[in-house]
Structure 1
Amino acid sequence: MNAQLADKESTPTAASVLRRAEVARVYEVAEHTALERASLLSARWGADVLLKREDQQPVFSFKLRGAYNRMAQLDAAERARGVIAASAGNHAQGVALAASRLKIQATIVMPVTAPQVKVDAVRRFGGAYTEVVLHGDSYSDAQTKAQRLREERDATFVHPFDDLDVIAGQATIALELLDQHRGPLHAVFVPIGGGGLAAGMAAVIKARRPDVRVVGVQASDADSMARALEAGQRVSLDEVGLFADGTAVKQVGALTFSLCEQYLDGVLRVDTDAICAAIRDIYQDTRSVPEPSGALALAGLKQYVATHGACEGSLVAVVSGANMNFDRLRFVAERAEVGEQREAVFAVTIPEQRGSFRRFCAALGQHSITEFNYRIGDAQAAHIFVGVQTAKRGEREALADAFRANDFGVLDLTDDELAKLHLRHMIGGRSPLARDERLYRFDFPERPGALARFLDRMHPDWNISLFHYRNHGADYGRILVGIQVPANELALLQDFLAALGYPYVDESDNPAYRLLLCA
């Protein structure tokens, strides 16, 4: 490596990252990716929206840049000892392809829950130079195993984000972008997981064009960088959401935090529905399908425009990856309408009498119904779960007011995760037999034995009174469980939940559950 870059800055600067990026060895394997105008989005939002297409890389993700640049810096002795990496997908594919091109033996530890399509891709890209070790349920488990193997074999650990050579490799995207767009540029939106991409791009853009805003975007349930910047120090999340799995990181890196704290102009949080809407937007403009993390930046860009209005100069979103599980598309399509605020979801209570349904339909006006669920269960009142197509923001509140004007009880469920994920498929499930019921929403790893582990640990006197599972093609299955537990055993229930180790949400007081399912 060039001697002037060999220093390992304790506090990296924009200038030092720029120097590294300018000599990064990424184009021995990576592509110069397109900067494309999103015509449909630009017309809809009244802004010049551009997409930086990192989904066009050979491994369908930007991760190849940083992995290859780090491994290309190894000396002969380090190459002979090989490298170790831990990853749930995209970084693993980058390391595997780099290992094959550089002829370095790589051991890559992936969680058992990693999608088979990604495991197969790692083996295909790495060929004879890559060994895949499946271990644990999460990235954290895989990382722990990888560190043990590194010590045993004296190999080099290729970190997915907290390494200056990795950061510099990702920063080459910013160099390309600034070369491709010499005109007015208002802001660049970048997805954040561990922070390597955002740190590198923010540093280079601020070094070259300090007037351009650089905005990070995170899933609202995996917002470790946003929380760290708010706290002024790195924080570790207890759990992270798994939909945008490519950016589901509990703690950002020390180097990446330092750079983002200095050069990032802010971090936006977006929810699952907004990400799904952004996936659809990218498909409509490009006919390509990004993975959830790959659409994060565009979801943030749309939120920014909705808040700030028209901007002077172009807006760029980095489409960071396209390693999408095909089966997940069903879930994305279902949630995209809500994410774009083109569907509102309500629970409406109407009198169980003649003419009520006619009045309900009249209250809808010209709106189309996208979903309607009803089952008789009460002699006095009918509870309806209804999805309604909306054309613009604000119609949701107007619909709720129209229902109330007819003396209908209304509960807006458009932002209620329990209702959208489970209850919409379970309407009419009240039972007088479900006494002492507690309701929990779990994320289970999609692997053999997960449910058996749950049942084996449960108290033998407790009864499962409700169970709903729907496979969304993700690494984790989402399960809704009702457990009948006497009030004097609630402490035992909490011990059971803690020992189980699965992420969960107590939904026992959820108003939609109380209205539609609770006896």
Structure 2
Amino acid sequence: MSEVKQAEDVALPSGADYLRNILRAPVYEVAQVTPLQTMNRLAARLGNSVQLKREDRQPVHSFKLRGAYTMMAQLTNTQRQAGVIAASAGNHAQGLALSGKHLGVSTTIVMPRTTPDIKVDAVKSFGGNVVLHGGNFDEAKVHAEKLADQHGYTFIPPFDHPAVIAGQGTIGIELVQQNGHLNYVFVPVGGGGLAAGVSVLLKQLLPEIKVIGVEAEDSACLKAALDAGEPVTLDQVGMFADGVAVKRIGEETFRLCQQYIDDVITVSSDEICSAVKDIFEDTRAIAEPSGALSLAGLKKYAEDHQLQDQQLAAILSGANLNFHGLRYVSERCELGEKREGLLAVTIPERPGAFLDFCHIIGGRAVTEFNYRYNDDTLANVFVGVRLMQGQEELEGIIQDLRKGGYPVVDLSDDEMAKVHVRYMIGGRPSKPLKERLYSFEFPEYPGALLNFLSTLGTHWNISLFNYRNHGADYGRVLCGFELEEQDLLSFTSHLRELGYQWKDETDNPAYKFFLAQ
């Protein structure tokens, strides 16, 4: 089955066709005109006007309602009677369910078994029929397409359909009406439906407005497609910003983004966390990671291009956040703002050494200090320092420490150090080990950790283990194994067969400083 099961064959629309379809989209039968809110605190920091399009204020707390309703409203009576189906782990599912409730159309949504209860319950509350199947979105989508063929349902895609794109494009109309003097609009990119719809609308009406697509670094399917000249499939995507965790951009959305978007920028998870904090401080709204994505891009783009006195707008695309995920956001937002640095520092094992170290740090606030006695000569400490002037200040601290005779390594961008090692300081093996270290990600569901241990732990001895979950849909494990050289080939082959996302971390500096023998 193709990506989109359409009611009828549709020729590729022109920009003028999209403008007409967006103006005619019946979204306001169910959706709201959302406010464009000024962010005064952030604007003062950046030296630009900054406004936030509050799509979290929709009845389903996401923009996805616009596209789902627009496509469903165009179905024939026969198609409506048969019902519709979609695969989704969150926002598209809720938009589809509410649209079906309003139109009197039966909706079935196939969701991965790993979907948190809060999202499943939200879909059910809007009248959607939930089918839990598969361990990820791709498996759920295959099952949804199978059910569509069996029962005659119309498949409603999350992004790659002209009607869906037109529905999302209505946000562009509101932006122009609310501020006709915008210079830049920053749009989050997952599958590309929102970016395509907004960019084609703005370029028809006010082509001087620059439209910037923003992607998560570990899910940059648009950037990959632009580099290749056509849509490509990413090997894997990160799941922190799960609303944009798409391996392959749509064919039609790519065609439009390639033609109408002015630039694309990628941001890290830490930068997204920083944007979540900015949104809360200015508006008291709590965005989901993908919802804060475009603001993270706005901040980075403004700094990289030294924008001043410009009118900037970003789209807060959703706020369906698993509450426990805020723990991760809180831990990482200071790093995303370059207001905290993480360092591994070697100090002599003698009385007063820590005091001397603190004198070099000066009056700066130490946010974290982890240490455990190892031997009589040297000690490795893991230290966090709050920064007022960002990276430049951190580089100054590193130089001062080295001048003082303290070997130092900057771990501020070391993902393994931030996720695992900072919670494991002081654990070294008491005997020689032929150890290799690996990080893993796997879908989070009841029994997932037990299954992980059962499949890996029965073959090789586990010598180190740390499990971290911040309320996300996936678990993160750091695991050490006793492996002889001759075991490596069969071990890595076994990992590939298991299907987990994994990375060899044996040469990671944080591991060598604090955990290796």
- Which TM-score bucket, shorter chain as reference? over 0.9
Instruction: Say if 1:29 and 1:98, in contact at 8 Å, map to a contact too.
Output: yes
TM-score by length of 1: 0.96
2:193 is matched by which residue type in structure 1?
G
Task: Output the CA distance in 2 between the equivalents of 1:278 and 1:389.
Answer: 18
Report the CA distance shift for 1:493/1:37 in structure 2 as closer, same or farther (over 3 A): same
Number of residue pairs aligned between Structure 1 and Structure 2: 510
2:341 is matched by which residue type in structure 1?
A
3-state SS of paired residue (2:52): strand
In structure 2, the partner of 1:83 is: 84
Give 1:295-374 correspondences, 5 Å limit.
295-374=292-371
TM-score by length of 2: 0.97
Q: CA deviation at 1:444?
A: 2.0
Give 1:364-443 correspondences, 5 Å limit.
364-393=361-390, 394-433=392-431, 435-443=433-441
Q: CA deviation at 1:436?
A: 1.6
Task: Output the CA distance in 2 between the equivalents of 1:434 and 1:367.
Answer: 39
Task: Output the CA distance in 2 between the equivalents of 1:434 and 1:469.
Answer: 24
3-state SS of paired residue (1:275): helix
Stretch of structure 1 that moved more, 154-163 or 443-452: 443-452
In structure 2, the partner of 1:3 is: none
1:390 is matched by which residue type in structure 2?
L
Task: Output the CA distance in 1 between the equivalents of 2:337 and 2:103.
Answer: 44
Q: CA deviation at 1:505?
A: 1.5
Task: Output the CA distance in 2 between the equivalents of 1:323 and 1:451.
Answer: 25
In structure 2, the partner of 1:57 is: 58
3-state SS of paired residue (1:221): helix
In structure 1, the partner of 2:172 is: 174
Stretch of structure 1 that moved more, 304-313 or 67-76: 304-313
Of 9, 18, 43, the match for 2:11 = 9
Report the CA distance shift for 1:371/1:517 in structure 2 as closer, same or farther (over 3 A): same
Report the CA distance shift for 1:379/1:42 in structure 2 as closer, same or farther (over 3 A): same
Of 471, 494, 497, the match for 2:495 = 497
Report the CA distance shift for 1:236/1:434 in structure 2 as closer, same or farther (over 3 A): farther
Task: Output the CA distance in 2 between the equivalents of 1:49 and 1:480.
Answer: 40
Cα shift readout 1:216-266 (whole Å, capped 9, x = no counterpart) = 101100101111111111110111000000000000100000000000111
In structure 2, the partner of 1:107 is: 108
Task: Output the CA distance in 2 between the equivalents of 1:294 and 1:456.
Answer: 36
Task: Output the CA distance in 2 between the equivalents of 1:116 and 1:487.
Answer: 44
In structure 2, the partner of 1:227 is: 224
Report the CA distance shift for 1:458/1:477 in structure 2 as closer, same or farther (over 3 A): closer
3-state SS of paired residue (1:27): helix
Cα shift readout 1:286-322 (whole Å, capped 9, x = no counterpart) = 0010000000000000001111123453100000000
Cα shift readout 1:173-202 (whole Å, capped 9, x = no counterpart) = 00111011122x211000000000000001
In structure 1, the partner of 2:21 is: 20
3-state SS of paired residue (2:126): helix
The alignment yields a C-alpha RMSD, in angstroms, of 1.3
1:101 is matched by which residue type in structure 2?
H
Task: Output the CA distance in 2 between the equivalents of 1:58 and 1:428.
Answer: 49
Cα shift readout 1:451-486 (whole Å, capped 9, x = no counterpart) = 333333337451111111122010011111111111
Instruction: Say if 1:359 and 1:406, in contact at 8 Å, map to a contact too.
Output: no
3-state SS of paired residue (1:309): coil
Task: Output the CA distance in 1 between the equivalents of 2:331 and 2:116.
Answer: 21
Instruction: Say if 2:92 and 2:158, in contact at 8 Å, map to a contact too.
Output: yes
Cα shift readout 1:63-121 (whole Å, capped 9, x = no counterpart) = 00000000000010110111010001000000000011111011100001111111000
Task: Output the CA distance in 2 between the equivalents of 1:113 and 1:460.
Answer: 25
* Gap runs ≥5 in structure 1: 1-5
Task: Output the CA distance in 1 between the equivalents of 2:133 and 2:389.
Answer: 47
3-state SS of paired residue (2:254): helix
2:373 is matched by which residue type in structure 1?
I
2:278 is matched by which residue type in structure 1?
D
Report the CA distance shift for 1:384/1:29 in structure 2 as closer, same or farther (over 3 A): same
Identity %: 52
Give 1:248-327 correspondences, 5 Å limit.
248-327=245-324
Give 1:238-253 correspondences, 5 Å limit.
238-253=235-250
1:122 is matched by which residue type in structure 2?
V
In structure 1, the partner of 2:5 is: none
Task: Output the CA distance in 1 between the equivalents of 2:46 and 2:422.
Answer: 32
In structure 2, the partner of 1:94 is: 95
* Gap runs ≥5 in structure 2: 1-7
1:380 is matched by which residue type in structure 2?
T
Task: Output the CA distance in 2 between the equivalents of 1:409 and 1:179.
Answer: 57
3-state SS of paired residue (1:173): helix
Q: CA deviation at 1:337?
A: 0.6
Report the CA distance shift for 1:459/1:120 in structure 2 as closer, same or farther (over 3 A): closer
3-state SS of paired residue (1:274): helix
Instruction: Say if 2:118 and 2:322, in contact at 8 Å, map to a contact too.
Output: yes
Task: Output the CA distance in 2 between the equivalents of 1:72 and 1:310.
Answer: 42
3-state SS of paired residue (1:259): helix
Task: Output the CA distance in 2 between the equivalents of 1:434 and 1:318.
Answer: 54
Of 156, 159, 170, the match for 1:158 = 156
In structure 1, the partner of 2:191 is: 194
In structure 2, the partner of 1:39 is: 40
In structure 2, the partner of 1:453 is: 451
